[in-house]
């Protein structure tokens, strides 16, 4: 039996055939699914799904790319949602510097302006200020949710993209008060060990099945068997046989099979280990 630890079942991509999606997951041996909130409204939808379907549990949080739209206080509505016993984690939350505002604005103009931003001009200074404000909003949003996790004694699902050092610096300030999982891990073995040394976990997606996913497969083959979980991040990142199509929780099995092959062990061993890790991390008995 497998646990899909990161799905976005509240997204419209699943509206038309939701019950079939759950049926296919169960047929693939995926018996429990964590659906992840990315905003206050998304988190409400996640809780509603978890309260309706016994195989679904909810994580509630505000994704860093919603920092500009989010209210200054996200703690109050998230705390209210966390009263549901079906809520098993805070997140996804973290830092994402992949689409900084200044770079996105420059790309929409022209190459000349974009190049100016890279070459020490007044435009670059203005861009740096704008980026700094955006990063500050993300950091505040992240810290609010980490504080709430400490308060509620829930673990955290961490999103990190192009913000490695800042993410670790914030987490280090919390020490062992926080236990998190770096979802959709795509870093190096050294980075994986940094995360594990801090007492956190990592989680692998369909990237381990990609032709260009050899580096991630190598990490999945070498980290200790009890330090990671499996997920899809659906509807994104459909594994090898389904590239270009909608991903769904049933594909968790393909992720686990790829990791088993990379490690030279059975699917059953990967399923048993990742299920035990997920059960300890999410503490389903709270529900």
pLDDT value at position 97? 95
Contact 285, 88 (CB under 8 A): no
Q: How far apart are CA 150 and CA 144, in angstroms?
A: 10
pLDDT value at position 125? 66
| DSSP code string of 99-118 | T-HHHHHHHHH-HHHHHHHT
Q: How far apart are CA 59 and CA 50, in angstroms?
A: 9
pTM of the shown model: 0.92
- Is the peptide bond preceding residue 92 cis, with omega within 30 degrees of 0? yes
Domains in the chain with CATH codes? 2-97+138-286 (3.20.20.140)
User: pLDDT digits over 131-175, tens only?
Assistant: 899 999 999 999 999 999 999 999 999 999 999 999 999 999 999
DSSP bridge pairs for 202: 182, 228
Task: Give the chain's mean pLDDT.
Answer: 93
Report the Cα–Cα distance between both ends of the chain, in Å, rounded.
19
pLDDT value at position 60? 98
Question: Does the structure show a pLDDT above 90 at 126?
Answer: no
């Amino acid at each position: 039996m497998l646990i899909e630890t990161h799905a976005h079942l509240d997204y419209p991509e699943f509206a038309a055939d939701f019950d079939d999606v759950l049926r296919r997951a169960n047929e693939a041996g995926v018996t429990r699914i964590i659906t992840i909130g990315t905003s206050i409204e998304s988190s409400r939808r996640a809780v509603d799904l978890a309260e309706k379907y016994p195989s679904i549990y909810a994580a509630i949080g505000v994704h860093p790319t919603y920092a500009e739209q989010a209210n200054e206080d996200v703690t109050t509505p998230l705390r209210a949602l966390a009263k549901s016993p079906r809520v098993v984690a805070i997140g996804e939350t973290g830092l994402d510097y992949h689409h900084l505002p200044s770079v996105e604005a420059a790309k929409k103009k022209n190459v000349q302006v974009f190049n100016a931003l890279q070459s020490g001009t007044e435009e670059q200074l203005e861009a740096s200020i704008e980026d700094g404000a955006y990063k500050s909003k993300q950091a505040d949003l992240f810290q609010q949710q980490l504080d709430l996790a400490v308060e509620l004694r829930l673990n955290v699902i961490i999103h990190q993209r192009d913000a490695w050092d800042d993410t670790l610096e914030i987490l280090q300030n919390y020490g062992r008060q926080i236990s998190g999982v770096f979802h959709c891990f795509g870093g190096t073995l050294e980075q994986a060990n940094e995360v594990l040394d801090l007492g956190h976990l990592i989680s692998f997606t369909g990237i381990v099945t990609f032709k260009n996913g050899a580096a991630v497969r190598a990490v999945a083959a070498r980290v200790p068997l009890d330090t990671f979980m499996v997920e899809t991040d659906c509807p994104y990142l459909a594994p090898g046989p389904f590239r270009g199509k909608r991903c769904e929780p049933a594909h968790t099995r393909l992720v686990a099979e790829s990791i088993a092959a990379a490690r030279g062990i059975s699917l059953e061993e990967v399923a048993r280990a990742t299920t035990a890790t997920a059960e300890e991390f999410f503490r389903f008995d709270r529900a």
